[in-house]
A and B are shown apart, each in its own frame.
Chain A
Amino acid sequence: MARDKIYQEEEFPSPLLQLWHNFRQNPVVMIGFGCFIFLVVLAIFSPLLTPYSPIESHLDSLLLPPAWSDDGNISFLLGTDNLGRDILSRIMSGASLTFGISFIVVIISMFIGVVIGSISALTKGIKSSFLNHFLDVILSIPSLLLAIIIVAILGPGLENTLWAIVMVLIPQFVHITRNAVTEEFAKDYVLASKLDGAGSMRLLIYSIFPNIIEKIISQATLAQSAAILDIAALGFLGLGAPIPLPEWGAMLKNGIDLFYIAPWTVYMPGLAILFAVVATNLVGEGMRHALKLRKES
């Protein structure tokens, strides 16, 4: 919507609003954002939208190819798997598992990471130096390896996968919050409110967070695409979602044995993961680009 300037008054949108104005300039990014919203809606409403139950077997139509092939059946749009379960329904409900859980994972780890990060930015000396080194060590361990080890401690299962990936993602948020807060603390406007007598909690909440929130959100999109891939990888290795659940990675694993006779059982979940990751990456990419634009202006 065009914003007419009737008054001479200068407008100063908040940092987040400014980001949005820059963000929506790019059409490709907006398509990605649309897909992202679509996935969120799918994740929430999939139980209402799916044509069949994701675990219901149709024993008279096993391994049906997708509807566009000659042997396909239009009532099973993306075909069925070896137990006669409708792949479309499974992929739709899988959105709330793979994509929805990655969303929850990112929100939990973002919250914990930001709290730890801002506390550590306020402390100085040996404690913070130790934390810094500790974070470096954790960040040097491959995320999937760390997640696998946490799953080995907790035991396999979807809920444990969730906590494992939360723990894997926390250090990244601690790292970025810490750096952003320290950087922001050196600026003059923070000094000004400090001279006004604001305590460090007040400084954090009113002065610093509004100015670093977009950095954290852009990290969150990165973290989410990593989380989707990690959840799917754990599912694929058989350490994540248990058998009947339609998690995308676990569906892929289930399809491997049938790969050569029914390739669509592997194509479809893989494409779903790819779609989710590309949509998330596009949003993140647009966000970083908008951030850069705002800094330059």
Chain B
Amino acid sequence: MLLFSLRRLNLLLFTILLLTLLSFSLSYLFPGDPLINITGRVLATPEQLEVLRQQYAFDQSVIEQYWSYLVHIANGDLGVSMSSHIAISTEVLSVMPATIELTITALIIAMFFGVPIGFIAAIKHKKTTDNIILAVAMLGYSIPVFWLGLLAILVFSIQLGWLPSAGQISLLYEIKYVTGIQLFDIMLSDSEYKWQAFQDASSHIILPACVIALAPATIFVRIARTAMMEVLESSYIRAANSKGLTFKQIIYRHAIRNASVKVVRHIGLQFANLVTIAMVTEMIFNWPGIGRWLIESIYQRDYTAIQGGLLILSSFIFIVHIITDFIYAALNPIARDTHYGS
């Protein structure tokens, strides 16, 4: 387990280093002066620029420039936004929790529905149920998410009027910023309308989270189905069968556990996909998250913000990836020993 952890941490370090290299090279690739791109100070006077040039080692070689960029990142300094002149790190910190809240909720919804349906499909393999589930799953991951989001708003917000169509919470409620994750903040606050605020916030999150969850859920259906079918063909299931266990006992005691472990392995990979979908969905539902912030930065040609946002968002995805790897290794002893990370 120690060797496994070291390897994973090594990979994490290497990856984040590569990501910083990528975001550093972006300041040269984007149009305009690299120094202004990296710092975001468009209004700086020539004297201030000279000071910045010293700070970011832009009078020296590229390697030293990269090193000073790394030092700045390590100190939490990602420059300032070109349009709002607020530090990128502050802006990211204010929008990131909303995205974490939305994506994690969507991931939970996707797994809650996707995995059991996949198991059912595997158990009913080559029957009508299986075929119907597969057909619906294929439709699910073919629907363009922006279209689905619009249809969901039309049906559930406008025609039926069940759920609100935009934003994170109604403006009536004032929630103090503690963790940034709205649902936690409401629980921590001591407002007398806590319960109403909680209901309002959860009714706001349901629609976008379900829209995001649909495509990953259908992929989980397929992953869970394949995993369950592999497990059902393995020899320990045949052994359990020959001992005289009923089909129900086999499924509940042996098959579900072993198949679930295999599903966990794929969560990390699916998460990147889920975040992509979340970026577009945030735009449609006006969700104050990092995806909307990033796309708006692109409209405004705010290169410093794009650079910082890419770095933070990809690191977030990779950290979730590594965490699921650890969970998988903790659940499955076989994974720890094999040639992992090679």
Contacts and interface: CB of A to CB of B under 8 A. Distances in A.
Contact of B295 (A237, A252, A260, A273): A237
Contact of A152 (B30, B279, B314): B30
A148 B295 contact: yes
14 contacts: A140-B321, A141-B314, A141-B317, A145-B310, A152-B298, A153-B29, A232-B144, A233-B146, A236-B146, A238-B299, A252-B146, A273-B144, A274-B139, A278-B138
B144 A233 contact: yes
Contact of A140 (B147, B283, B295, B318): B318
A133 B15 contact: yes
A174 interface: no
B70 interface: no
Interface stretch (B230-238, B240-248, B270-278): B270-278
A149 B146 contact: no
A239 to B, nearest CB: 7
Contact of A143 (B18, B276, B295): B276
A233 B272 contact: no
A141 B272 contact: yes
Interface in A256-296: 256, 259-260, 263, 266, 270, 273-274, 277-278, 281-282, 285
A249 B280 CA distance: 12
Given A137-B19, A152-B303, A281-B142, A144 B310 contact: no
Interface of B: 11, 14-15, 18-19, 22, 26, 29-31, 138-139, 141-147, 150-151, 154, 158, 272-273, 275-276, 279-280, 283, 294-295, 298-299, 301, 303, 306, 310, 313-314, 317-318, 321
B298 A278 contact: no
A38 interface: no
B272 A236 contact: no
A232 B299 CA distance: 17
B280 A237 contact: yes
A252 to B, nearest CB: 6
Interface residues of A, number: 40
A136 interface: yes
A136 B15 contact: yes
Given A152-B303, A229-B144, A281 B138 contact: yes
A46 B147 CA distance: 24
Given A134-B18, A149-B26, A263-B154, A140 B314 contact: yes
B317 A142 contact: yes
Given A142-B276, A145-B310, A278-B139, A270 B144 contact: yes
A96 interface: no
Contact of B306 (A137, A149, A263, A281): A149
B27 to A, nearest CB: 11
Contact of B273 (A133, A142, A266, A277): A142
Nearest to A232: B144
B138 A133 contact: no
Interface string A160-184: 0000000000000000000000000
A145 B276 contact: yes
A219 interface: no
A297 B19 CA distance: 45
A145 B299 CA distance: 14
Given A142-B273, A144-B279, A274-B143, A153 B317 contact: no
A153 B29 CA distance: 6
A221 interface: no
Given A133-B15, A142-B276, A149-B306, A274 B321 contact: no
Contacts of B141: 281
A225 interface: yes
A137 B146 contact: no
Contacts of B275: 142, 145
Contacts of B280: 144, 233, 236-237
A239 B26 contact: no
B18 A153 contact: no
B243 to A, nearest CB: 29
A135 B57 CA distance: 30
Contact of B279 (A145, A278, A281, A285): A145
Contacts of A273: 144, 147
Contacts of A152: 30, 298, 301, 303, 306
Given A142-B275, A153-B30, A274-B142, A133 B14 contact: yes
Contacts of B22: 137
Contacts of A278: 138-139, 142
A278 B146 CA distance: 16
A137 B15 contact: yes
A156 to B, nearest CB: 9
A238 B139 CA distance: 26
A236 B10 CA distance: 39
Contact of B138 (A148, A229, A256, A282): A282
B323 to A, nearest CB: 13
Contact of A142 (B279, B299, B321): B279
Given A137-B22, A139-B272, 7 more contacts: A134-B18, A140-B321, A142-B276, A149-B306, A237-B280, A238-B299, A281-B141
A136 B303 CA distance: 25
Nearest to B274: A142
Nearest to B273: A142
Given A153-B30, A266-B150, A270-B147, A239 B142 contact: no
Contacts of B295: 148, 237
A156 B275 CA distance: 22
A274 B147 contact: yes
B289 to A, nearest CB: 13
B147 A252 contact: yes
A26 B276 CA distance: 33
Contacts of B314: 137, 140-141, 145
Q: List the 7 closest pairs (A to B, CB-CB), nearest first.
A: A270-B147, A142-B276, A277-B142, A144-B276, A278-B142, A137-B18, A273-B144
